[in-house]
Chains A and B, each alone.
Chain A
Amino acid sequence: MSCIGVSIVQLFARTEHLAQEIQYFHSSEKLRSLIIVSGYYNKEKNFKREILVSAESLKLLESLIFFFDFNASRLPLKSLDLPENVIASFIDPKNANQIIRRLNQIEPLENLRHVKRVQKKILEEGLMVCRPCIYVLFWNSCFCYIVQLLTLEIYVTGQIHLSVILCLASEGDNQLDSIPPHLQELISFYQLSPFITKVCKYAATSKEEWQEQCKFWPTSYHPRTYTDSCCFRKPELSSSHPVSDIVAPNDPLHLNSSFDELKQPHMGVACLYPWLWAEQQSLAQGLSNWHPLRHAAIVAIESSAARDRLLFPSMGNNEEKYLELDHEKSSCTSSPAKRLRTIPENVDDNEKVNAVSQSSEQLSERPYLCTGYDIFLVWEPCAMCAMALVHQRIRRIFYAFPNPNAGALGSVHRLQGEKSLNHHYAVFRVLLPQQVLHKPDVEVAEIK
């Protein structure tokens, strides 16, 4: 079996340990990078080519992807999710209970809650597995090769194999030496033989991603469930397509509702070059009001805070004073500069649902900041905006275009994956249909 004519996704689906194999190949051959080129016909009989890039360091990986992006035309690129090294060991199923209980006490996997501690494998009797040959193009230092990988494995018994994660591996060459002493005791007591393996660093955000992850080591996956389904009416036209790791595919978007917004020639140039952006603003608004930090998300938060104060005015003198102040403020920021909406429609819907509680308008019943709100952004927000949206407790973020220079939701940083933050929102990238992008009154091209 050869990988020619197979997409990388299929390749991964067929071979259980392909990712591990690649990693192993990396280390045994002392390769700096490994690139798999794949070509196949999709269902529409179009020829698709894909490149999978895996490299010893993130830096190298990035520069390779950059290289292919610019030199090797428009092939879809995939990079192997850089996994976390852990120390694991096979264990006797008889002792499994005690060992796992003890491990959870002395070495809890705080930052890897999504990773299952135990991997269980039932090997079928007498099964002979011939691993596929992969055409691999790789280079080490200065040579290029094309080789074939072929591995043969024969499983003989119907045993249950249990392996368990002992602890995180530290950086460096002698990773196995870094096992803390209290674990050493456990290892010698049960006569375990630790080895290094990989687990996925981040919890999966989609079922597909989860299935991919489980090929490394089983993880758990909890699809997001939102109780208020009123946000999106049943989509007649599902115009969003899932994008690798940031879109939950079972969450289709009805884009018609945001068409009106898109038609307006106010596409956000959130933070490509902040000072320049301020200059563009000033042309539109008169020189007195430019502000280098007034990005779309910040303006939206300000407006929503002003709305909150309007809807739920409190009796305190202080508060009233601030309310007036912000009337002035919002009047100058809300109109042309406001280039996105903080889902006023959805808020209304929510309010209808909560009509009973909202109608009384008790101070304690009002939503805390933007809890339960969604925001639609044209561009992926920068670190400042992304963090501001964390502070303001936004529930979901939808954006159309990634920002490779400053984007903080996947491009440069990945704020939604920072464990330490006290609030986490769901992030979706919306793929806009072609006809929207090519409408003459949408000034996408200009911005790009």
Chain B
Amino acid sequence: MASLGEECSTETLAFMELAIQQAKLALDVLEVPVGLALIPKLPLPASCVIVEDGKPIASGRNRTTETRNATRHAEMEAIDFLLEQWQKNGLSMSEVAEKFSSCSLYVTCEPCIMCASALSILGIKEVYYGCANDKFGGCGSILSLNSEVTPRKGFKCTGGVMASEAILLLRSFYEQGNPNEMVWKQPLRL
């Protein structure tokens, strides 16, 4: 895993900013009082943007609560969106594989083991993330799926991009609190 160096370009920062904006949106959505009472727990404001050739082509945010499917992380949402789009456009499997290999992912929080594994299966080019995830991180924190070459492809991984903003976002999520105790008893993806 590469650490944040000088090569962290303005472009990188801009895309991460975009991911953080998305996450903020997610946070705002849940401030709607109607939603709060009914939703047993809030999804964390983690969000991601997939970029191809310098253009953002997909974004996603956690939808674990709405779907009651704890695997619907931001990364999985964005991946599914892209797969659907590309299949609709009639791309073949090898074309889709090739497209993924030219995509970068910007995500506020280090991809978990599941997402990191999925990204390496798809053969994504590189991943930039904000804060590390010392519970589930699959890009160096717990496992390093990005650097495992066989049988899948590894990918370049850069952590700590605008980490303080990402942490701030998570903190404000927790401070916002939830009337339902479930959140604290059953921690979500961090």
- A contact set with B: CB distance below 8 Å: 271-275, 278-279, 282, 288-293, 298, 301-302, 305, 308-309, 314-316, 318-319, 322, 326, 363-364, 368-369, 382-388, 390-393, 405-406, 408, 413, 415, 418, 420-422
Contact of B113 among A282, A305, A387 (CB under 8 A): A387
Q: Are A305 and B121 in contact (CB under 8 A)?
A: no
On chain A, the residues within 8 Å of B51 by CB distance are none
- CB-CB under 8 A from A369, the residues of chain B are 68-70
Known: A292-B121, A383-B145, A422-B187. A275 touches B97 (CB 8 A): yes
Interface residues on B, range: 35 or more
Within 8 Å by CB of A279, from B40, B93, B121, B187, lies: B93
Question: Considering the chains assembled together, what is the distance between the CA atoms of A133 and B172 in angstroms?
Answer: 66
A405 and B151 within 8 A (CB) = yes
With A318-B35, A319-B38 already in contact, the answer to whether A384 and B151 are too (CB < 8 A) is no
Any A CB within 8 A of the CB of B135: yes
List 19 A-B pairs, Cβ < 8 Å.
A272-B151, A279-B93, A289-B87, A292-B83, A293-B76, A309-B67, A316-B39, A319-B66, A368-B186, A382-B121, A383-B145, A384-B115, A384-B121, A387-B113, A388-B114, A391-B64, A405-B151, A418-B143, A422-B187
* Chain B residue, CB-CB nearest to A278: B93
Task: Determine how close the nearest CB of chain B comes to the CB of A338; give it in whole angstroms.
Answer: 15
Contact pattern, B 128-160, Cβ under 8 Å of A = 1, otherwise 0: 000000111010001101000011100000000
Residues of B whose CB lies within 8 Å of any CB of A are 34-35, 38-40, 64, 66-71, 76, 79-80, 83, 87, 93, 97, 112-118, 121-122, 134-136, 138, 142-143, 145, 150-152, 182, 186-187, 189
CB distance from A427 to the nearest CB of B (A): 15
Q: Once the chains bind, are A271 and B121 in contact (CB under 8 Å)? A: yes
Chain A to chain B: the 3 pairs with minimum beta-carbon distance, closest first: A387-B114, A305-B69, A384-B117
Interface of B is mostly: helix
Please name all residues of chain A whose beta carbon is closer than 8 Å to the beta carbon of B69 when the two chains form the complex.
301-302, 305, 369, 392
Return A78 CB to nearest CB of chain B, in Å: 25
Cα(A427)–Cα(B82), bound, Å: 34
How close is A148's CB to chain B, nearest CB, in angstroms?
41
Do A383 and B35 have beta carbons less than 8 Å apart? Answer: no
Given contact pairs A282-B93, A383-B138, A388-B70, a sample of 20 additional A-B residue pairs in the complex whose CB atoms are under 8 Å apart: A272-B151, A274-B152, A275-B93, A275-B97, A279-B93, A301-B70, A302-B69, A319-B66, A322-B66, A326-B67, A382-B121, A386-B113, A387-B113, A387-B117, A391-B64, A391-B71, A391-B112, A391-B114, A393-B70, A422-B135
- A420 CA to B189 CA, complexed, in Å: 12
Is the Cβ of B113 less than 8 Å from the Cβ of A383?
yes
Which residue of B87, B121, B136 contacts A293 across the interface (Cβ within 8 Å)? B121
| Contact between B68 and A387, CB atoms less than 8 A apart | no
Contact assessment for B79 and A293 in the assembled complex, using a CB-CB cutoff below 8 Å: yes
Most chain-A Cβ atoms within 10 A of its Cβ — which of B34, B83, B150? B83
Known A278-B93, A368-B186; judge A392-B121 contact (CB<8 A).
no
A31 to B: closest C-beta gap in Å: 29
Residues of B within 8 A of A393 (CB): 70
Q: Indicate if the CB atoms of B68 and A305 lie closer than 8 Å.
A: yes
A413 touches B68 (CB 8 A): no
User: Given A293-B121, A383-B138, A383-B145, are A392 and B38 also a contact pair (CB < 8 Å)?
Assistant: no
Please name all residues of chain A whose beta carbon is closer than 8 Å to the beta carbon of B68 when the two chains form the complex.
Answer: 305, 308-309, 369
Q: Inside 8 A of B135's CB, which chain A residues have their CB?
A: 420-422
Q: Are A318 and B66 in contact (CB under 8 A)?
A: yes
Given A293-B122, A413-B143, A422-B187, A298–B38 Cβ distance below 8 Å? no
Residue of A whose beta carbon sits closest to that of B84: A291
User: Given the complex of chains A and B, what is the CA–CA distance between A413 and B120 in angstroms?
Assistant: 15
